Amino acid sequence: MKGQFLLTRLVMISNRVIDFGAATQAGGVTVAIFDTLARHKGFWFGWNGQIDETESPETSLVSNDGHTTATLPLTAADYNDYYLGYSNSVLWPVFHNRLDLAQFEAGYYARYVAVNQKFAAHLAPLIEPDDILWVHDYHLFPLALELRKLGIQNPIGFFLHIPVGPAQALLAIPEHRELARALSAYDLVGLQTHRDVRNLIDFLQQSVFGRLLPSGRIRALDSELDVGCFPVGINPADFAGSPIVREKESPEIDRIIGIDRLDYTKGLPQKFRAYGKFLEDFPEHRRRIVLSQFAPPTRESVEAYADIRAELESLSGAINGRYGELDWVPINYIHRPMPRQELRDVYRSSRICWVTPLMDGMNLVSKEYIASQDPTDPGVLILSKFAGSASQLENAVLVNPYDVNDMVQSLHIALKMPLDERIERHEKLARIVRESDCGKWAKTYFSALVKAGKRRLHRSQPPARVADAMRRLAAAPKKKADTKPIVAHVGG
Ligand code: ADQ
């Protein structure tokens, strides 16, 4: 029953826990985590963002306005080897198919496991028998395995926000078997797209001889797990609504907006080069468009991030130097975050949103742009076919970011697109963004996790205890989860 379902306590776990004040400024997923937690009266566990050398730190429990967080600090060595090192210099590049940028340093993996053990040791005493645990992202692959070692038998789900690169890339990680073993300790692994599901199954087959069962589940090592596709959404209401607040600076100039963290996966040099070529090939557009690229810094102490920053500064400088005029600057390159309350207006006053990742788990900016548009005069979304969101947003102008000519032509098509075509495409896109919002994402994943958790109880407990455990898990939602059988993913 719905009421019982809502009583189940949910424990969300992610590397970083955002504080409540900041969460209202945060993106869709953080809001979805907060809303989901509020419905389930659970708590959010993770790193508090502080560095502290205390040997055995206390877990700090804070409740505020119905939300509870349980956090602990990391040491400087944890931050360096677990966060910057293994998570962001090994797993992030490899899962984005950038093996060339991976740094397999000795010591990273040991610290990565040690931090997961530390998380498990602090979390285990807070877990009650009825709790359901939902772990987020690549920093925490080993967490379920470490919790199981401490005797935690609760259902544990994992959701990966980033894409899963091809198996051949993942197999190059020296510890790939350990990672596969870690995954097999979860009851449900949620991914963003069917492509990711196919790649993960392929990886499990090659790494640990994982087998696809007739049930559609995966048997890996001694466990069985569900793998499904749950595309992350936004809350469209945050972006829809009142008409434009800030007018365009100049009605003569069409703004092309780019909003991305400064990351080598986002295809920013490719975008800048294509923009330069566009100005060269279509001189009639000079002085009539401007590319405003917001790219706030992230993970700056990782070498690859410093490199991309220098590359973008040089490319934007070269384009502005070559094509700029006294009264027209072709690229505004802003290396700072934009205040979230301004995002909607900037999206809405931009004629085009240019989203060009080389690989991206989902890409929320593409959805935020669609939700922000005036339906009677919408702008055009140009979207990389390698963003996870392209599998849903097929009516965007899809582009191959590696192909500079395709990028140039797409920009031309988008700038020339007539109003009726813009409206028609936008209607279809807006419906998808509405129908797959972040609330639906959280509900669908949670109900699939409850189902997967029930199967664990059936397998792992003697029959007499199953009935008792089932009573505790009776909170199962009646709604059918939309995790499609793996067989369908593999074929599809
Ligand atoms: P990210 O790589 O961080 O997330 P994305 O999905 O684009 O990428 O979300 C970024 C969020 O930050 C958006 O809400 C956006 O508005 C905001 N943002 C980005 N640049 C900004 C700027 N300059 N100023 C202000 N806000 C900015 C990971 C995966 C993605 C996946 C998400 C969610 O890498 O593929 O979509 O998780 O699952």
Name the domain count of the chain.
2
Could you tell me the pLDDT band of residue 127, with boundaries at 50, 70 and 90? Answer: very high
Strands across the sheet containing 289-294: 331-334, 289-294, 254-259, 352-355, 380-384, 397-399
Collapse the DSSP code of 390 into the 3-class scheme (helix H, G, I; strand E, B; otherwise coil) and give the result: helix
Q: Check whether residue 221 and residue 296 sit in a common domain.
A: no
Encode pLDDT of 271-312 as tens digits.
Answer: 999 999 999 999 999 999 999 999 988 887 788 888 888 999
pLDDT in the model for residue 41: 83
Which has more confidence, 331 or 31? 331
Q: Check whether residue 144 and residue 263 sit in a common domain.
A: no
Q: Check whether residue 308 and residue 283 sit in a common domain.
A: yes
DSSP letter, residue 99 = G
Any atom of ligand 1 within 6 Å of the Cβ of 363: yes
- Examine residue 359 and state whether it is found in any structural domain, yes or no: yes
- Rounded CA-CA distance 357/281 in Å is 23
**Ranges of H-type helices in 324-462:** 340-348, 364-372, 404-416, 419-435, 438-460
pLDDT in the model for residue 484: 39
Collapse the DSSP code of 90 into the 3-class scheme (helix H, G, I; strand E, B; otherwise coil) and give the result: helix
Which has more confidence, 55 or 108? 108
Last residue of a domain, one of 387, 402, 436: 436
Options 161, 176, 194, 489, the catalytic residue:
161
- Examine residue 130 and state whether it is found in any structural domain, yes or no: yes
- Examine residue 484 and state whether it is found in any structural domain, yes or no: no
- For the question of residue 285 being annotated catalytic, the response is no
Any atom of ligand 1 within 6 Å of the Cβ of 27: yes
Average per-residue pLDDT in the chain?
Answer: 88
pLDDT in the model for residue 482: 38
- Rounded CA-CA distance 163/391 in Å is 13
Any atom of ligand 1 within 6 Å of the Cβ of 161: yes
Any atom of ligand 1 within 6 Å of the Cβ of 337: yes
- Examine residue 479 and state whether it is found in any structural domain, yes or no: no
Instruction: Tell me the C-alpha to C-alpha distance, in Å, between residue 70 and each of 19, 91, 183, 468.
Output: 11, 26, 24, 29
pLDDT in the model for residue 454: 86
| Ligand 1 pocket, mutate which of 159, 308, 365, 369 (most atoms under 8 A from CB) | 365
- Examine residue 487 and state whether it is found in any structural domain, yes or no: no
pLDDT in the model for residue 458: 74
Q: Check whether residue 216 and residue 140 sit in a common domain.
A: yes
pLDDT in the model for residue 466: 42
Q: Which atom of ligand 1 is nearest to the CA of 261?
A: 20
- Examine residue 488 and state whether it is found in any structural domain, yes or no: no
Q: Which atom of ligand 1 is nearest to the CA of 338?
A: 24
Mean pLDDT in residue range 390-394: 98
DSSP letter, residue 36 = H
pLDDT in the model for residue 471: 53
Question: Is pLDDT of 99 > 50?
Answer: yes
Mean pLDDT in residue range 466-489: 42
Residue nearest to atom 16 of ligand 1 (CA): 365
Any atom of ligand 1 within 6 Å of the Cβ of 259: yes
Any atom of ligand 1 within 6 Å of the Cβ of 343: yes
Residue nearest to atom 38 of ligand 1 (CA): 161
Collapse the DSSP code of 262 into the 3-class scheme (helix H, G, I; strand E, B; otherwise coil) and give the result: coil
CB atoms within 10 A of CB 326: 5
Q: Check whether residue 310 and residue 446 sit in a common domain.
A: no
Encode pLDDT of 6-49 as tens digits.
Answer: 567 999 999 999 776 665 556 657 777 777 887 788 899 999 99
pTM, 2 dp: 0.91
Which has more confidence, 247 or 66? 66
- Examine residue 465 and state whether it is found in any structural domain, yes or no: no
Yes or no: say if 291 and 331 are a contact pair by the CB < 8 Å rule.
yes
Q: Which atom of ligand 1 is nearest to the CA of 29?
A: 33
Task: Supply 451's token pair.
Answer: 């189902």
Q: Whole domain around residue 419: which residue ranges?
A: 236-436
Yes or no: say if 362 and 337 are a contact pair by the CB < 8 Å rule.
no
- Strands (DSSP E) found in 26-66: 43-51, 60-64
CB atoms within 10 A of CB 388: 27
pLDDT in the model for residue 6: 52
Q: Check whether residue 267 and residue 279 sit in a common domain.
A: yes
Any atom of ligand 1 within 6 Å of the Cβ of 162: yes
Instruction: Tell me the C-alpha to C-alpha distance, in Å, between residue 245 and each of 13, 74, 242, 365, 446.
Output: 38, 42, 8, 20, 38
Encode pLDDT of 400-450 as tens digits.
Answer: 999 999 999 999 999 999 999 999 999 999 999 999 999 999 999 999 999
Any atom of ligand 1 within 6 Å of the Cβ of 367: no
Q: Check whether residue 282 and residue 213 sit in a common domain.
A: no
Q: Which atom of ligand 1 is nearest to the CA of 388?
A: 35
pLDDT in the model for residue 481: 37
Mean pLDDT in residue range 108-116: 98
Question: Is pLDDT of 342 > 90?
Answer: no
- Examine residue 55 and state whether it is found in any structural domain, yes or no: yes
Q: Which of 82-86, 244-248, 483-487 has the lowest mean pLDDT?
A: 483-487
pLDDT in the model for residue 478: 42
Question: Is pLDDT of 176 > 80?
Answer: yes
Any atom of ligand 1 within 6 Å of the Cβ of 232: yes
* Element counts in the chain: helices (H) and strands (E): 19, 16
Could you tell me the pLDDT band of residue 490, with boundaries at 50, 70 and 90? Answer: very low
Question: How far, in whole angstroms, is CA 438 from its chain's centroid?
Answer: 12
Q: Check whether residue 224 and residue 241 sit in a common domain.
A: no
Could you tell me the pLDDT band of residue 468, with boundaries at 50, 70 and 90? Answer: low
Last residue of a domain, one of 402, 436, 470: 436
DSSP character string of 283-352 = GGGTTTEEEEEE----STTSHHHHHHHHHHHHHHHHHHHHH-BTTB-SEEEE-SPPPHHHHHHHHHT-SE
Tell me what percent of the residues of the chain surpass a pLDDT of 70: 88
- Output the CA 368–ligand 1 centroid distance in Å: 10
| Partners of 29 in the β-ladder | none
Instruction: Tell me the C-alpha to C-alpha distance, in Å, between residue 272 and each of 22, 99, 315, 355, 413.
Output: 32, 23, 7, 12, 18
Question: Is pLDDT of 398 > 50?
Answer: yes
Could you tell me the pLDDT band of residue 243, with boundaries at 50, 70 and 90? Answer: low
Any atom of ligand 1 within 6 Å of the Cβ of 260: yes
Q: Check whether residue 137 and residue 33 sit in a common domain.
A: yes
Q: Which atom of ligand 1 is nearest to the CA of 387?
A: 35
CATH code, domain carrying 60: 3.40.50.2000
Q: Check whether residue 356 and residue 301 sit in a common domain.
A: yes
Options 137, 226, 254, 360, the catalytic residue:
360
- Output the CA 219–ligand 1 centroid distance in Å: 33
Residue nearest to atom 35 of ligand 1 (CA): 361
- Rounded CA-CA distance 472/27 in Å is 34
Q: Check whether residue 135 and residue 265 sit in a common domain.
A: no
- For the question of residue 161 being annotated catalytic, the response is yes
pLDDT in the model for residue 22: 62
Q: Check whether residue 94 and residue 157 sit in a common domain.
A: yes
